[in-house]
Every structure is written in structure tokens, then in C-alpha cells.
């Protein structure tokens, strides 16, 4: 987990002419080093099928796979972990099901939620949405000031997320993020790998400057 810097989450509707596996393989080849299956529309059986297919792909490249919302699907697909929102199952329940070795990530939208997630034993957190995003409509942007607060205080890895793309990633990194996460900028682009290469090179530039 510590070495993961570029987290790419699948979209449901962002790649109409391209398949899920093709898009995610391109992202991985471009430098995505953590992948999440997030599909709010898929019925349980379809979600498990997608998780198993992504498991096969990610294993081939040695990339960890996280399943959004559903610890039981993460377990059934032998994924590396689950990502939970503030309204999902509590960390303790997910930990009970997944055991000590799988990863549990939590979305946080304030420094108080970030502190609570760290205390509750999350392996990583999402910090966002940094910018307004159509992927999570109706959620107020937390701006880079939450990124700066998390950088100053939170000791577990955090991924800045929400409206991040190669044009604004440097600003997020300058605020203190060491890890970025994206959905639409990557999977909505005809060349997901190229977007990942750009984001990775911005992350590496920021590491060199630190």
C-alpha cells in the first residue's frame, strides 16, 4: 500500500466504446498501481464477475485490487481489500469479515472523519472531493485546504480524489498530497495510459522537489 501512488477507479459509463479490462489494462501500463472496482449499478452477480475478471488482470501485473462498497464481494473475488464510504459498513465489521491482511480504505470529507478513520484502523483514506466532480454529484468540494490538513496530520496513506486531472494535479501535490486518485480523467479519456503517465510524472516531479 505504501508504495501505491496512483489509484485508478473504474467508472460505469465512462468508456462506452471500450471494455472495462481494456481501459484498466491501459491505465496499469501507464502507471496506475492500485485499482478499484466501483460500480453502483451492477447487480451482485455482475459485480462479482467484474471483480473476478479484474482480479485476473491486476494479478497479472502485480497491482492490488480494491472493491468498493462490498466486503463480501472483495472476499469472494480474492481482492486485496474494500473501500467504504462514511455510510457503509463500519470498519470493524469489514475487518471481521476480511481479516487483518486485507486492506480497508475509507472516503473522508473532513479532517475529523480522517482522524476517526485512522483511529478505527483504516489502511488508507480518500481525501475529497478536492474539486467539484460529476462522478460524485452534490458533494461539496473540500478544496486543497483539506489536503494540506491531512498532509500535516494523517499518518496512514491518503489519496487525494475528486476532479483531479493532469491539469490540476500539480496544485494538489503542492498542497501536500503524495498520492492521487482519479476516475473520469483516466477512464473517460481515449488513452487512459497516457493520462496515467502524465499523472505519474507529476507525482515523481513533486517527490523530487520535496
- Interface pick for ligand TZP out of 116, 184, 194, 197 (rule CB under 6 A): 184
Rounded CA separation 180/7 (Å)? 6
- 39 is a contact residue toward Mg ion (CB under 5 A): no
Choosing from 55, 95, 102, 107, the catalytic residue is 107
The answer to whether 108 is annotated as binding is: no
- 12 is a contact residue toward Mg ion (CB under 5 A): no
- 206 is a contact residue toward ligand TZP (CB under 6 A): no
- Report what 183 binds from ligand TZP, Mg ion, none; CB cut-off 5-8 Å by kind: ligand TZP
- Interface pick for ligand TZP out of 135, 144, 189, 206 (rule CB under 6 A): 135
- Report what 115 binds from ligand TZP, Mg ion, none; CB cut-off 5-8 Å by kind: none
- 136 is a contact residue toward ligand TZP (CB under 6 A): yes
Choosing from 52, 136, 178, 197, the catalytic residue is 136
List residues near ligand TZP by CB under 6 A.
107, 126, 128-129, 133, 135-136, 161-164, 182-185
| Contact set with Mg ion (CB under 5 A) | 69, 85, 88
Annotated binding site for Mg(2+): 69, 88
Amino acid at each position: 500500500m505504501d508504495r501505491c501512488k496512483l489509484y485508478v477507479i473504474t467508472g460505469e459509463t465512462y468508456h462506452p466504446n471500450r471494455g472495462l479490462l481494456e481501459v484498466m489494462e491501459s491505465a496499469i501500463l501507464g502507471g496506475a498501481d492500485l485499482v478499484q472496482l466501483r460500480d453502483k449499478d451492477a447487480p451482485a452477480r455482475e459485480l462479482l464477475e467484474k471483480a473476478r475478471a479484474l482480479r485476473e488482470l491486476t494479478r497479472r501485473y502485480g497491482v492490488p485490487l480494491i472493491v468498493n462498497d462490498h466486503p463480501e464481494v472483495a472476499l469472494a473475488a480474492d481482492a486485496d481489500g474494500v473501500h467504504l464510504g462514511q455510510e457503509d459498513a463500519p470498519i470493524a465489521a469489514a475487518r471481521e469479515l476480511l481479516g487483518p491482511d486485507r486492506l480497508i480504505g475509507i472516503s473522508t470529507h473532513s479532517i475529523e472523519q480522517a482522524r476517526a478513520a485512522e483511529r478505527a484502523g483504516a489502511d488508507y483514506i480518500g481525501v475529497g472531493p478536492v474539486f467539484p466532480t460529476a462522478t460524485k454529484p452534490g458533494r461539496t468540494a473540500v478544496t486543497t485546504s483539506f489536503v494540506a490538513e491531512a498532509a500535516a496530520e494523517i499518518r496512514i496513506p491518503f489519496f487525494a480524489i475528486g476532479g483531479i486531472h493532469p491539469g490540476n494535479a500539480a496544485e494538489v501535490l503542492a498542497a501536500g498530497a503524495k498520492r492521487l486518485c482519479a476516475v473520469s480523467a483516466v477512464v473517460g479519456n481515449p488513452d487512459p495510459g497516457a493520462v496515467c503517465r502524465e499523472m505519474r510524472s507529476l507525482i515523481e516531479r513533486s517527490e523530487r522537489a520535496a
